[in-house]
Amino acid sequence: MQTWRYGMILTIAAILAAGAHAARADSGADLFANQCGTCHTLSAKDQMLQGPNLGNVYGRKVGSVAGFAYTPDFTSANFVWDDKHLDAYLTNPTSVLADSYMQYQQPDAGIRAQIIAYLKQEAPLYAGGK
Ligand code: HEC
């Protein structure tokens, strides 16, 4: 009886944890769609919008989408987009790349973290520019 009850509690805890995880993943996707989607697609196969595609941006070299007309600072910079660079760029783009003309700033660290986590999660799906 005792073991059965413990098993039930574990099962319920697992279901709740799975639900919370799904909710977090969804809100990352929603945040990306609402806050970045006007200017960025995920897939390189979609028509390019105002900005370059971002599906594999996490771990990608800065300014490296072929055919996108980046401003000069992007092509002379030499780093890979990771948590630190993305967080600074989304806070204030020109603090990372002085001539960036991306019209977006996100002062809320929690929202930035959710969007960055979403991009990190998606990156393997778009590896090699899919
Ligand atoms: C109003 C349009 C607009 C919005 C909204 C926008 N961006 Fe951008 N983004 C751009 C443009 C334009 C560039 C290229 C900037 C340049 O060349 O100066 C860019 C570049 C980038 C880059 C550099 C990519 C690379 O290949 O080096 C990242 C990363 C990025 N954006 C992330 C985001 C994220 C994440 C969001 C949403 C939270 C977002 N952007 C919202 C227009 C936008």
Structure tokens at 127: 């590896």
- Rounded Cα gap, residues 30 and 78, in angstroms: 30
Residue nearest to atom 19 of ligand 1 (CA): 51
CATH level 2 (architecture), domain 29-126: Orthogonal Bundle (1.10)
Give the binding-site residues of ligand 1, using a 6 Å CB cut-off. 35-36, 38-40, 50-52, 54, 57, 62-63, 65, 70-71, 74, 81, 86, 89-90, 100-104, 106, 115
Probe residue for ligand 1, chosen from 35, 39, 42, 86 as the CB with the greatest number of ligand atoms within 8 Å: 39
In the chain, where the domains are located: 29-126
pLDDT at 128: 78
Q: Which residues of 42-62 are buried (b: 16+ CB within 10 A; e: fewer)?
A: bebeeeeeebbbbbbbbebeb
Question: pLDDT tens-digit profile of 71-89?
Answer: 999 999 999 999 999 999 9
- Rounded Cα gap, residues 126 and 106, in angstroms: 24
- Residues with pLDDT less than 50, the chain: 12-25
- Rounded Cα gap, residues 26 and 32, in angstroms: 10
Structure tokens at 2: 């005792």
Evaluate the CA torsion angle 71, 76, 79, 85 in order and state its sign: negative
